[in-house]
Structure 1
Amino acid sequence: MPQTIRAAVCRAFGEPMRIEDVTLADPGPDEVLVAVKACAICHSDITYADGGWGGDLPLVLGHEAAGLVEAVGDNVSHVRPGDTVVVTLIRACGACHYCSAGRDYLCETVFDLDRRSPLTDASGAPLGHGLRTGAFAEKLVVEKSQLARVDPAIPFESASLLACGAITGVGAVTNTAKMPRGAHAAVIGCGGVGLNAVQGARIAGAASIIAIDLSREKLDAAERLGATATIDPIHEDAVDKVLAATGGRGADFVFVASGAPAALESAASYVGKAGTVVIVGMPHSDVTIGYNPSNVASWGQRILGSKMGSACVCRDVPHLAGLYGDGVLQLDWLVTARYTLDQINEAIAATRAGQGLRNVIVF
């Protein structure tokens, strides 16, 4: 039977979310009902709530979640009630053109949940299933491919980071860039995704890892996670420091983990010959930047886009959970503040202001 739950509803771009009683439909044959235990605040939620990507309202956002399975559809076999799971926004059919090529994150299949939202408000009007997840709520319904089972010993707050920040940051290094051991890496923007890109570079065996950010707190965190040099581009000559850290050649890989135009434009200044710029952060839809194609061609450079770390949920979430269990991937201390659902707007404001490394809604 459909059930009433509490959720944070975004009804107007740029306005505070409202905590409302909403109705959640039962899971379909290929769907799973999850009781949300933790949902991290991601800048993608904020960009959407601010109207940076357009879209239809009202909706329930939140997509970086972990919780307990409550019910499964008839066609679901890889999880069962009681399992601890990480819930992502990636839906994959496993058979389309992109899934067949190992690009699950670009799956072109239209799922039942793409045609109808499982959420309705008190008047019976549909609510958007924000970022295909709707995790700023006590419970959610997602397609079976969107989740992976993890060890219940992982704290829910830490597990939630695997859903987006970790797979996006680490995956940008290991999946998208396929960065080889011994390369010089620079990471621009050391928020939740950027810090995990720093971890990814360390895990991949980078010769140097240069963290670039305006926040001393985040640069200190990057050092703790493996950065060998840190740069505040407001107070230091960033180009000179990157050259000094890379033998005068520039970085082999520059990971832009911020959607700020200035961050995106600066990447070309740090990358060397045969180097690669990997765009990880998601700017507003109307943002454009310029680049010199002559340098890209003559120096044999590449520009790559990285969506969700080019992740395969069933492969990458368990793998990263295993690295966490082995003490290789740090997650626990990245959670710097915890909020209740009633405090959602405070959590979003703190995240927007750059306060904390990862702010998490806990249930």
Structure 2
Amino acid sequence: MKAAVCRQFNAPLCIEDITLSAPTTGQVRVKLAACAICHSDLAFMDGTFGGHLPAVYGHEASGHIAELGDGVSEFALGDPVIVTLIRSCGSCCSCATGHPTSCETPYDRLGQSPLVDAKGDALEHGMATGAFAQEVVVDQSQIVKLPQDMDMAVASLLACGVITGFGAVTNSAKMPAGANVAVIGAGGVGLNTIQAAAICGANKVIAVDLGQEKLNAAMEFGATDALISDADLNDNIRALTDGRGVDYVFVTVGAVQAFNAAPDLLAPRGEVVMVGMPPVGVKAEYEPVNLAGMSQSMRGSKMGEAVLQRDIPQLIDLYRQGRLKLDELISNTYSLDQINDAIADTRKGVSRRNVILFDQ
């Protein structure tokens, strides 16, 4: 099968014929229909988070089950599914207490990879998914069944960007109705954080970004106010909130400056929710005395702390009700052979989501 292989950091991907092993116990093989490009893919391709090369990245996908391994009983051949990077064992402490995104059972993305190149060398199973390819083999915990009539390009967005942004509000923050919220970053994840806060009844949803075009998009997705991120941000936030600040700041970008600025925007008892991921080794600065004195808090949110079998059906229902915007998130579509063009466009930081379609 064809796959886009990363053989050198900061270099174009190579379209190659590779071999995919058959699914083992608890695994499935999925023939992909679509895979969206996430900025996390770009970070791994640049070596930001480490990893081994060569590798096949891509983790925000949808397709149809083509083969079942032993022990898979909840799915059938031909089922339409989304494919995510959330691989969970179901039995460790985190999984057993309902937090599969924090699964404590290690997965060796190289030693256990189902991918082999033409020379017989193992390829890293990027983010346990490897979805920049025509097919994937993944654990059954990584898939969720879709309605038969669901558009597959739209469905692929649910695998990462949507659940990450939406879940940060509903699962991590458990934001109550009436809260005042600031979302730093109005990209793909930020827009989903914004619409989640609006759907859940936030009083004010203040979008913060460096670019006016992204702020305009934020208003389309439910923001009540839009602010340029500059030296006056703290004063402008407080002007919109009667001097209090906001109850929640969601940082959806990986820029350390945003993490440094976020605590200063909080109201008493407010919370910073860290969604974006800066490069490994980057450190933020804050004054603990301020957080302690104002009973404020900071917490991380990995993949929206999603429970796939619970959250994906709910998001599909919201989409079908016309309350959750998904179609509007897709900026452009490409074939697999055009993936480097799609990545170049994604790097510009303007597109909401670019999607690879495998049947083009």
Would you say 1:253 and 2:248 are equivalent positions? Answer: yes
Check if 1:332 corresponds to 2:327.
yes
Q: Secondary structure at the match of 1:242?
A: helix
Q: Which amino acid aligns with 1:246?
A: T
Q: Report the 3-state secondary structure (helix = DSSP H, G, I; strand = E; otherwise coil) of the residue aligned with 1:344.
A: helix
Q: Percent identity?
A: 51
Q: CA 1:339–1:273 in 2, change beyond 3 Å: closer, same or farther?
A: same
Equivalent residue in structure 2 for 1:65, among 61, 68, 74: 61
Cα distance between partner residues in 1 of 2:121 and 2:38: 27
Contact 2:110 2:123 in 1 (8 A): no
Structure 1 residues 53-85: Cα deviation after superposition (integer angstroms, max 9, x where no partner)? 111111100000011111111211222111111
Q: Partner of 1:159 in structure 2? A: 155
Instruction: Deviation per CA, 1:8-28: give whole Å up to 9, x if none.
Output: 001111111111000011111
Structure 1 range deviating more: 325-334 or 163-172: 325-334
| Structure 2 counterparts to residues 150-299 of structure 1, below 5 A | 150-234=146-230, 237-299=232-294
Partner secondary structure for residue 167 of structure 2: helix
Question: Contact conserved, 1:168 with 1:307, CA < 8 A, in 2?
Answer: yes
- Match 1:306 to one of 279, 298, 301: 301
The equivalent residue for 1:315 is 310
Q: What is the rounded CA distance, in whole Å, between the counterparts of 1:215 and 1:69 in structure 2?
A: 41
DSSP 3-state at the match of 1:126: coil
Q: Unmatched 5+ residue regions in structure 2?
A: none
Q: Is the 8 A contact 1:113 1:143 kept in 2?
A: no
Q: Which residue number in structure 2 is paired with residue 149 of structure 1?
A: 145
Q: Does structure 2 conserve the Cα–Cα contact (< 8 Å) formed by 1:67 and 1:86?
A: yes
Aligned match of 2:113: 117
Q: Is the 8 A contact 1:336 1:359 kept in 2?
A: yes
Question: Is the Cα contact below 8 Å between 2:214 and 2:350 reproduced in 1?
Answer: no
Q: Distance in 1 between matches of 2:248 and 2:354?
A: 28
Q: Residue by residue, what CA displacement relative to the aligned partner does 1:311-342 show, whole Å, maximum 9, x if unpaired?
A: 11111112111211111111001101111111
Structure 1, residues 278-336: CA drift from partner, whole Å, max 9, x if none? 00001100211100000000000000100000111111112111211111111001101
Give the alignment's TM-score, normalised by structure 2: 0.97
Taking the aligned partners of 2:187 and 2:5, their CA distance within structure 1 comes to 25
State the shift of 1:240 in Å. Answer: 2.2
Between stretches 102-111 and 345-354, larger displacement belongs to: 102-111
Q: Structure 2 CA distance, aligned partners of 1:260 and 1:111?
A: 28
Given that residues 176 and 201 in structure 2 are in contact (C-alpha distance below 8 angstroms), is that contact kept between their aligned partners in structure 1? yes
Deviations 1:344-363 (A, max 9, x none): 11111111111211111111
Partner residue of 1:127?
A: 123
Please point out which of 343, 346, 349 is paired with 1:351. 346
Aligned amino acid, residue 276 of structure 1: E
Q: CA RMSD in A?
A: 1.3
> 1:139-182: CA deviations, max 9, x gaps?
10000000001113221111111000011000000000101110
* AA aligned opposite 1:133: T
Match of 1:223, SS state, is helix
SS at match of 2:18: strand
Assess if the C-alpha contact under 8 Å between 1:40 and 1:358 holds in 2. yes
The CA distance in 2 between the partners of 1:355 and 1:344, in whole Å, is 17
The alignment covers a number of residue pairs equal to 358
| CA-CA distance at 1:228 after TM superposition | 0.1
Q: Which residue of 2 aligns with 1:103?
A: 99
Name 1:8's counterpart in structure 2: 4
In 2, Cα distance between the equivalents of 1:263 and 1:307? 17
Q: Indicate conservation of the 8 Å contact 2:99/2:305, yes or no.
A: yes
Q: Is the 8 A contact 2:109 2:126 kept in 1?
A: no
Q: Partners of 1:92 and 1:287 in 2: how far apart?
A: 28
* Structure-1-length-normalised TM-score: 0.96
Aligned counterparts of 2:264 and 2:228: Cα–Cα separation in 1:
15
CA distance in 2, matches of 1:30, 1:111: 14
User: Which residue is equivalent to 2:45?
Assistant: 49
Give the CA deviation at 1:113: 6.8
The code of the aligned residue for 2:77 comes to P
Contact 2:205 2:222 in 1 (8 A): yes
Report the Cα distance in structure 1 between the residues aligned to 2:69 and 2:115, rounded to whole angstroms. Answer: 17
Please, which of 337, 357, 362 is the counterpart of residue 357 of structure 2?
A: 362
Q: CA contact under 8 A between 2:176 and 2:202: conserved in structure 1?
A: yes
Q: Distance in 2 between matches of 1:201 and 1:78?
A: 33
Gapped regions of structure 1 (runs ≥ 5):
none
Matched-pair contact (CA < 8 Å) for 2:188–2:352: yes
Q: CA deviation at 1:245?
A: 1.8
Q: Match of 1:270, as an amino acid?
A: L
